[in-house]
Amino acid sequence: MTTPYNPLDKLNLGKSVVQALLGQDARAMAGIGETRGAGVYAIYYTGSFPAYEPVASRNRDRVFGEPIYVGKAIPKGGRKGGITTDMSKGTALQDRLRQHAASIEQAENLELGDFYYRCLVVDAIWIPLGENMVIETFRPIWNGVIDGFGNKDPGNRRVAQYLSSWDALHPGRLFARKLAAGFTTPESVRAKLANYVAGLSVLLIREQDDEDGVG
């Protein structure tokens, strides 16, 4: 029996956000201008960092076929349950993208000129669904196997607060200097990424990390 198409099904609503995001022009992160509103975004890498070649090769020549990171920018009050009726107001997307640009600029082995982004202003109720659907569609490596890119300054270091995989592989971010190294090393992160590219699931990689004591 054929199931009737339901445009209001959660899966179809999520796919519509993905399609709308991919329909946006890609812009250089080196020149983030006035971007009004809140919503979802995708960041693309085109550079020559060896571990990212499988991703970068799909994005060069302005193809932008595989994001390296996907995120959301929630309007002020959104995390506390507030409802904003006009998603075109505010600077949530602009502020979040500029935070990411600063992280990339501070990294010692990345160049901001190698990064591009797409963003889409989305009604608040659909922002989490849209982000999740884009992540599930592309499984970006900075969302899964190399975690920590989206971290913000944690303030004073807390007990057992260590460098993320991203900061171990890309040293230089200012707030990361106050964090302990832990067990995570650039070599261990590259090994995780190689396993991921080879088809090993993120869940199995994390289970191996737990057994090896790698954070």
Structure tokens at 173: 């971010």
- pLDDT, residue 81, reads 45
Q: So where are the chain's domains?
A: 1-140, 144-210
Q: Which residue has the tokens 């004073």?
A: 156
Give 88's pLDDT tier (boundaries 50, 70, 90).
low
- pLDDT, residue 1, reads 60
CA–centroid distance for 123 within its chain: 20
- Structure-model confidence comparison of residues 54 and 88, the more confident one: 54
Give 152's pLDDT tier (boundaries 50, 70, 90).
confident
Structure tokens at 38: 């809140």
Total length of the chain: 215
What average pLDDT score do residues 92-111 get?
A: 96
Nearest one of 30, 90, 41 to 67, comparing CA atoms: 41
CA distance 99 to 101: 5
The type of residue at 7 is P
To the nearest 10°, report the CA torsion of 98, 56, 131, 208.
Answer: -110
What are the tens digits of pLDDT across the range 161-176? 788 999 999 999 988 8
Q: Are 210 and 194 in contact (CB under 8 A)?
A: no
Nearest one of 38, 40, 120, 115 to 83, comparing CA atoms: 38
What are the tens digits of pLDDT across the range 18-73? 999 999 999 999 989 888 899 999 999 999 999 999 999 999 999 999 999 999 99
Give 5's pLDDT tier (boundaries 50, 70, 90).
low
Task: Tell me which of 9-18, 93-102, 103-112, 152-161 is least confident.
Answer: 152-161
- pLDDT, residue 82, reads 47
Asked if residue 186 has pLDDT above 70, the reply is yes
- Please tell me the number of Cα atoms within 13 Å of 149 on its side-chain side: 23
CA distance 85 to 131: 19
What average pLDDT score do residues 179-193 get?
A: 87
- Structure-model confidence comparison of residues 79 and 8, the more confident one: 8
Angle at 93 between CA 92 and CA 96, to 5 degrees: 85
- Structure-model confidence comparison of residues 197 and 76, the more confident one: 197
Q: Are 190 and 165 in contact (CB under 8 A)?
A: no
Asked if residue 135 has pLDDT above 90, the reply is yes
- pLDDT, residue 75, reads 78
